[in-house]
Structure 1
Amino acid sequence: MMRASSLDPFRNPASVAVVGASDDQSKWGYWLAQGALSGKHRRPVYLVNSSAQTVQGEPAFPNVSALPEAPELLVLCVPPRFVEGVVVEALAKGVKAFLGITAGVPNEAHLGELIRAAGARIIGPNSLGLYDGSAELQLAWGHFTAGGLAIVSQSGQLGSEIANLSARAGLGVSRFISVGNQLDVNAAELLDDLIDHDATRLIALYLESFADGAQLVRTLRALAEAGKRTILLTTGASEGSQRLARSHTGSLTSAQDTVDAACRAAGAIRVSTPTELVNVARYLSVAPTPSGRRVAVVSDSGGQGGIAADVAAACGLSTPVFSAALQSSLAEILPAGAAVSNPVDLAGAGEADLNAYADLSRHLLESGEVDAVVLSGYLGCYGEDNPPLEAAELAVIDSMGQAVRSSRLPLIVHSMSVGSRAVSRMWEHGIPAFAGIEFALKTVAQAAHLTDWPGRDITAPGTGTGTWAPGYWAARGLLADLGIAAPAGRLISSGQDLAAAAAELKFPVVLKAGWLEHKSEHGGVKLGLGSLEQLAAAYQDMLKRLGDGEYVVEEQDGRPNAVEVLVGARQDRDFGPLIAVGAGGTEAELHRDVCVELAPVDHPTALSMIRRLKCLPLLTGWRGKPATDIDALAAIITAVSATIAANPGITELEVNPIRVAPEGAVAVDALVVTATAVTELATATA
């Protein structure tokens, strides 16, 4: 990862030149020149315009060669056809860093080669600009207020939208970087450069593509370990090479599944809209993350409390019933008959005495029974609607702020007011306040994600050197090497091997056409063969229909109460090795019940994957049936994940189905696809 000196000119350049500076406010050159000049007390600023002697009251130079020195950072804002000529001239002058604003530059690849050959760097082209608050560096359209949020965006305009929404929410920007086409400097490098950027506390990241996603994950995790959380907004790119996927795993996992898995490994949060991003950033800028997902809901309206409870459930939060002792203490504060089990209904207590809000908040925050408290309703409106009550309302909020600081738990308010003094005071006390209950609870749930998934190591355990033959029999050998149990079986090369197989194995048995990847779809598997005669008949039938090949006979797993599960792994084009577990069998695509993580995973992470499946009740004992051995299943997940991570030559590895029973887990089919096989398939289908 390149950083340090090669990126220093983009952090705090010693001098700046704007090529294409203008007096015309409708042109980019005007705003870039104006922004650069706002920092002229920090550094020399040179304006280049081939047809003007002055720009914005400052001397202008006709070209780069005429500058008195080589600027440390040069901004390219000229028509596309002139960009290469300016770059060649600037490189000859000794320029080592470029900010490329111009879009549609001809032959960008050649431009990149010229810059790299000279040992120089470029952000862009097609960048919307650069801003650093602590360095007083503004080379972008518009205005910024310094703060703690860094914005790194592949879309310049969307980055500007995030900056504008942040400003309206009172969040300032530490650094703004529109990465543009990433001809040279990429998003991962710029993010890495934020690790030791003192002004940055949070990162807003918008990406449309995830080249070298594994490095990106490592960088985001390093940011998290430095106390800087990343909030990711994406359009769901990173489709990977699923067009050639040959297993169920490839068809079951989506690009967004992969991005979410990357966020879990990185300790980052994915959001769906710029508004969500700013809500989360604003929350994290003042409030602690919940230590869990238990939420107390308090409202001064039964209807609002009921809606809040429903929204909480939809967001993956729980509203647990309070203990008898806590309910009793709450009842002492509230009118007789008020609901105190959770949600809590103030039943007019707030109107009778505003201190009820603070008293209830303190009781709940100190109870040890919840991880966050959400107040929904009229608080924030009392002083706005009735000015004589404003002082009392502000005093109550001050008291609530003390309770938050004492408990170190988050208190979040859904207020019917948007901008009252009371709402502003809440934010001052680290009490996030939102105008909609859905925003309040969704933000709490997203913050709790950081507790659930703080980030983890995805370093591969080493590079394997094995070679793998095609077919099911070879796959069984790999399973044996991994310690994954499979039924006793025998390879059948001809009909003469059937009698030996019948003598060695216990009936009933299964006959499989081992070279087929999806056996059941081609009639390549026959279950429940109870005798040598039935086995021979099935073999002759398959031989007639499918031809010569590798056939396998194995004992049929007939253990009762077994559940069929899929464990699959594949190499993603952008993020590298992935591991998945889901409902298995021939109906896997129908159920589409799957959890995905970046590989490798450890045993606790494998267990968490299993527990997130919709089919979990089948594994833990459905309707009186005994629980299955999910620890054995987790062991298979970890083994497969380690194998795909250590062996880039394996493109896909799927074990499906695995029959998980109370007595353990047995793999009854498997598929291994190598890079060579995928290349051959791509060539054949080209």
Structure 2
Amino acid sequence: MSDLSVFSDPRSVAVVGASANPAKWGYWLARGALRGSSTRTVHLVNAKSAVIEGVESVPSLADLPDAPELVVLCAPAATVPGLVQQALSMGTRGFLGITTGIDQAHDEPGLERRIASQVRASGARMIGPNCLGLYDATHDLELAWGTFSPGSLGIISQSGQLGLEMAGLAAHAGLGVSRFVSVGNQVDVTAAELLSDLVHHDATKAVVLYLENFGDGRELVTTMARLRAAGKPVVVLTVGASEASRTAARSHTGSLTSSLDVVAAACRAAGAVLVNSPAEAVDLAHLLHGSPLPKGRRVAVVSDSGGQGAVGADSLARHDLSVPRLSAPTSELLSSFLPAQAAVTNPVDLAGAGERDLAAYSRVVDVLIQSGEVDAVVLSGYFGCYGADTPELLARELEVVESLAEAVTSHQRPVVVHSMSHDSEAVRSMRAQSVPTLHTIDAVARSLGLAASLAEHTGAPIVGPAGPEGVVGASASYLRGRNLLESYGVRYPAACALRSADDLLHAMSQLKAPYVLKAGWIEHKTEVGAVAVGLVEEAAVVAAYQDMSARLGEGEYVLEEMDQRRDVVELIVGARRDASFGPVVLVGLGGVQAELYQDVQIALGPVDESQALHMLHSLRAFPLLDGWRGRARVDVQAAARAVVAISRLVAENALVFEAEINPLRVGPDDAVAVDALVILSDTIAARTPTDPKLTGAIA
């Protein structure tokens, strides 16, 4: 990555298209640029030489006394190519492209990217075009529509307007913004580069990223992991939860995996966290800012209202957090200084103790944090309002805030406050001292649940690049697909290929009954009657073959030994190549009901055995594998090895676009696959494979 300092601390800026009209983009850009005029030289370019905010503009770049280091392009689309050429000849190092529709204005598809290539060839860089702008609090650089409050949150957003919304929410939450960049069309500078530039940006303490197109997703994962390692948690917002991406899927793996699922897996690999809305993003960033992560999901709720405590406990439970009953010694210690009517088992109801002495809040929190029985404390209700409603109590309330902050620092357990006040002095003090304070208990519970998930997923190393994108091509035959999977260690029953009825007797002599007959070229066999099971006698095998061949036609049929083991759990194991994130692996409850249950876990591939085991243990149906209601435990290690194998197959072989086993029959002694779907990539299917394992996979 080249130096991007021109977009954070340029020596000089020229706003081309500056305007004196407050309703136009050029006005906001000019006004923002002028705010940093004590830090850098600011030039305003306006074709009519208008006076803007008391500053005279010049009619063209040629009229400037020297070359601007950064040029902001807010001029008509038709003029942009010439402006870029002119600025490059002057020695400009950076371009911020606000203007949209450049390709359309010139009726030249790809013109924007050709301009970007020209910029890079000259040693310069470009953000945008079609972006809302950028802001850097440290260097007083404001080149965007909107208003920003300086702070500690970095925002990188593909949608300028949505990024601006998050900046406003950050200001309201007392976080403010350290750096904001609207990436626009990303014809040159990418979101990954801008994220990487935040790793060593001292002012940024947490990052929110909004993207719709992830480009080289694996590069982004690596960058987000670097930010996490630098103590800067990353919160990701995206779109793609709709069913549209699943409807055309040829495999169960495709139909069970949306683009949002893949992004969530990428976030887990990076040690980042995925949220659903701008408000969730900023709430979570606020909680993560300076506050320790919870080491588990046990939470104590403290309130001066029984109702608020009970509602708080219910809200936490909805976000997979537990509110455990406190031990007798801890309850007795609380009882020693709280009123007799106080509830001391969790939730803790102060029963008016807070009104009598505000120090009761900090004393209770201190006991709970030191007990070792909870991983976080939620303070819910009126605290934060005392000083605002009764000024005489403000000093005492601020002392309690100090005590809460000291407890967090000393014991490294988060204290999260739900305050009925939006913005009192006490609330601002808590936010400044790493005691996150939100206005609703729902926001507290949701954010604390996400923080607990973040603590559980510290990140997993990913191996190799995403690889070629490829296009979905033809599927390999069943027999060739299973041969390929067998070469990676997946176990299958013995089988023989059938080309005609004459092959039946020979196949039966080589195999043990009962048998399964399959039409090997059909992807989803059950739906069209392309599989017959439980065949024992010769007559039954012949009849099944005659019926199937009459209905389905000629082709490669397969006779296979039938897996008859008892106490078997059927899983689906699949992997596919995602356009942005490369190999993605899935495991879940399988069989014909796989899409009904939708109990799956997804990770970026390839995975190792420990990662595969974690995926299996994370399934809601894991108790079925672990001896549910007295049944025998199945061989989870063998299932994990199958997950590893299929993830390696797709990760290591660019010829394979997708592979799936459904079902993988996991019993107490082993895991046996009884289906195989291998889909090749049209992009490179015509090439001669160099791996001998692949020669049998070409249909």
Task: Summarize the Cα distance change of 1:378–1:456 in structure 2 as closer, same or farther, 3 Å threshold.
Answer: same
Which shifted more, 127-136 or 373-382? 373-382
* 1:542 equivalent in alignment to 2:548: yes
1:373 is aligned to 2:372: no
Paired residues of 2:216 and 2:466 also in contact (CA < 8 A): no
Segments of 4+ in structure 1 off by > 6 A?
A: 237-241, 461-464, 677-680
Which of 410, 420, 423 does residue 427 from structure 2 map onto? 423
Report if aligned partners of 1:240, 1:572 keep a CA contact under 8 Å in 2: no
In 2, are the aligned partners of 1:205 and 1:233 still within 8 Å (CA)?
Answer: yes
Aligned residues of 2:300 and 2:347 also touching (Cα < 8 A): yes
Q: 1:30 to 1:633 in 2, by over 3 A?
A: same
Distance (whole Å) between structure 1 residues aligned to residue 497 and residue 289 of structure 2: 63
Please state how far the C-alpha of 1:66 moved relative to its aligned partner: 2.5
Amino acid paired to 1:508: P
What residue in structure 1 maps to residue 514 of structure 2?
508
Aligned equivalent of 2:64, options 67, 70, 74: 67
1:236 pairs with 2:240: yes
- 1:433-452 aligned within 5 A: 433-452=437-456
Is 1:614 paired with 2:620?
yes
Instruction: Give the deviation of 1:413 after TM superposition.
Output: 1.6
Distance in 1 (CA, whole Å) between partners of 2:541 and 2:330 is 68
Listed one character per residue, the Cα deviations across residues 62-95 of structure 1 (whole Å, up to 9, x for unaligned) are 2112222222111111122222232232233333
Give the 3 Å change call, closer, same or farther, for CA 248–164 of structure 1 in structure 2. Answer: same
Q: Secondary structure at the match of 1:454?
A: coil
Which residue, 40, 43, 49 being the options, matches 1:46? 43
Q: Within 2, Cα distance between the matches of 1:192 and 1:563? A: 44
Which secondary structure state, in structure 2, belongs to the residue aligned with residue 297 of structure 1? strand
* Alignment of 1:114 onto 2:115: yes
Deviation at 1:290, TM superposition (A): 0.9
Equivalent in 467, 482, 500 of residue 476 of structure 1: 482
Provide the C-alpha distance between the structure 2 equivalents of 1:380 and 1:112, rounded to a whole number of angstroms.
53
- Structure 2 residue 22 is matched with structure 1 residue 16: no
Cα distance 1:424–1:83, how it changes in 2: closer, same or farther (>3 A)? same
The AA in structure 2 aligned to 1:214 is: R
Measure, in 2, the Cα distance between the counterparts of 1:649 and 1:535.
Answer: 35
TM-superposed deviation, 1:417: 2.6
Could you tell me how far apart the structure 1 residues matched to 2:5 and 2:109 are? 24
**1:408 is the counterpart of 2:376:** no
Q: Deviations 1:40-67 (Å, cap 9, x if unpaired)?
A: 2332222212222654433432211222
Stretch deviating more after TM superposition (344-353 or 80-89): 344-353
Counterpart code for 1:384: A
Provide the C-alpha distance between the structure 1 equivalents of 2:153 and 2:272, rounded to a whole number of angstroms. 15
Task: Name the counterpart of 1:189.
Answer: 193
C-alpha distance in 2, partners of 1:11/1:677? 41
Matched position secondary structure for 2:602? strand
Over 3 Å counting, the alpha-carbon distance change for 1:592 and 1:53 in structure 2 is closer
Paired residue type of 1:3: S
CA contact (8 A) 2:587 2:602 kept: yes
Tell me whether 1:88 sits opposite 2:85 in the alignment: yes
1:386–1:139 Cα change, 3 Å: closer
Give the whole-Å Cα distance in 2 for the aligned partners of 1:546 and 1:420. 74
- Using the alignment, how far apart are the partners of 1:308 and 1:462 within structure 2? 43
The 1:399/1:135 distance shift into structure 2, 3 A limit, reads closer
Q: Residue 521 and residue 133 in structure 1: after superposition, are their counterparts in 2 closer, same or farther (change >3 A)?
A: same
Give the match for residue 28 of structure 1: 25
Letter of the 1:146 partner, please give it.
P
Comparing 347-356 and 153-162, the one that deviates more: 347-356
Cα distance in 2 for residues equivalent to 1:149 and 1:379: 26
Shift of 1:115: 3.9
1:651 is aligned to 657
Which of 48, 54, 57 aligns to 1:57? It is 54
1:210-262 CA-to-partner distances (Å, cap 9, x unmatched) read 22222222221222222222111222289998666321101111121111111
Tell me, yes or no, if the aligned pair for 2:152 and 2:206 is still in contact at 8 Å. Answer: yes
State which drifts further: 296-305 or 175-184: 296-305
> Of 281, 295, 319, which residue of structure 1 is paired with 2:299?
295
In structure 1, how many angstroms separate the alpha carbons of the residues matched to 2:498 and 2:513? 16
Given residue 634 of structure 2, which amino acid in structure 1 is its aligned partner?
Answer: T
Kept in 2, the 8 Å contact 1:236–1:259? The answer is no
Question: In 2 relative to 1, CA 144–512 (structure 1 residues): closer, same or farther, beyond 3 Å?
Answer: same
Tell me the secondary structure at the aligned position of residue 448 of structure 1. Answer: helix
Q: Name the SS for the 1:176 alignment partner.
A: strand
Note the 1:547-566 alignment, pairs <5 A: 547-566=553-572
Please tell me the residue identity of whatever aligns with 1:49.
N
> Residues 185-334 of structure 1: matches in 2 within 5 Å?
185-236=189-240, 245-334=249-338
**Paired residue for 1:683?**
none
Partner of 2:637: 631
In the alignment, what sits opposite 2:535?
Answer: 529
Q: In 2, are the aligned partners of 1:508 and 1:555 still within 8 Å (CA)?
A: yes
How far apart are the structure 2 equivalents of 1:355 and 1:54? 59
Over 3 Å counting, the alpha-carbon distance change for 1:458 and 1:156 in structure 2 is same
Q: Describe the shift of the 1:639–1:302 C-alpha distance in structure 2 as closer, same or farther (beyond 3 A).
A: same
Shift of 1:668: 0.9
Q: Quick check: 2:293–2:452 contact (8 Å CA) kept in 1? A: yes
AA aligned opposite 2:7: F
Q: 1:333 to 1:534 in 2, by over 3 A?
A: farther
Instruction: Tell me, in whole angstroms, the C-alpha distance in 2 between the residues paired with 1:276 and 1:532.
Output: 64
Matched, 1:498 2:504: yes
1:155 counterpart (139, 151, 159): 159
Tell me the alpha carbon deviations over residues 328-365 of structure 1, each in whole angstroms, 9 at most, x when there is no partner.
33333444464433323333433444333222211111
Question: What CA distance in whole angstroms lies between the structure 2 residues aligned with 1:594 and 1:501?
Answer: 37
TM-aligned CA distance change 1:371 to 1:553, over 3 Å: same
Mapped partners of 2:541, 2:126: distance in 1 = 68
The AA in structure 2 aligned to 1:432 is: P
Q: Partner residue of 2:97? A: 100
Output one character per residue of 1:96-125: Cα deviation in whole Å (capped at 9) or x when no partner. Answer: 421111222224622431342352322111
From the superposition, tell whether residues 341 and 509 of structure 1 become closer, same or farther in structure 2 (CA, over 3 Å): farther
2:416–2:436: 8 Å Cα contact kept in structure 1? yes
Seq. identity, %: 52
Aligned residues: 675
Residues 208 and 237, structure 1, Cα contact 8 Å, conserved in 2 = no
Other-structure match for 1:398: 402
- Structure-2 change in CA distance of 1:296 and 1:515 (3 Å): same
- In the alignment, residue 607 of structure 2 is paired with which amino acid? V
SS at match of 1:366: helix
Contact 1:461 1:645 in 2 (8 A): no
Query: Letter of the aligned partner of 2:45 in structure 1?
Result: V
- Determine the C-alpha separation between the residues in 2 that align with 1:199 and 1:44: 23
> TM-score, normalised to structure 1's length?
0.93
Q: Distance in 1 between matches of 2:619 and 2:68?
A: 57
Question: Shift of the alpha carbon at 1:570?
Answer: 0.6
Say which SS state the counterpart of residue 50 (structure 1) adopts. Answer: coil
Does structure 1 residue 598 correspond to structure 2 residue 595?
no
Q: Which runs of 5+ in 1 are unaligned?
A: 681-686
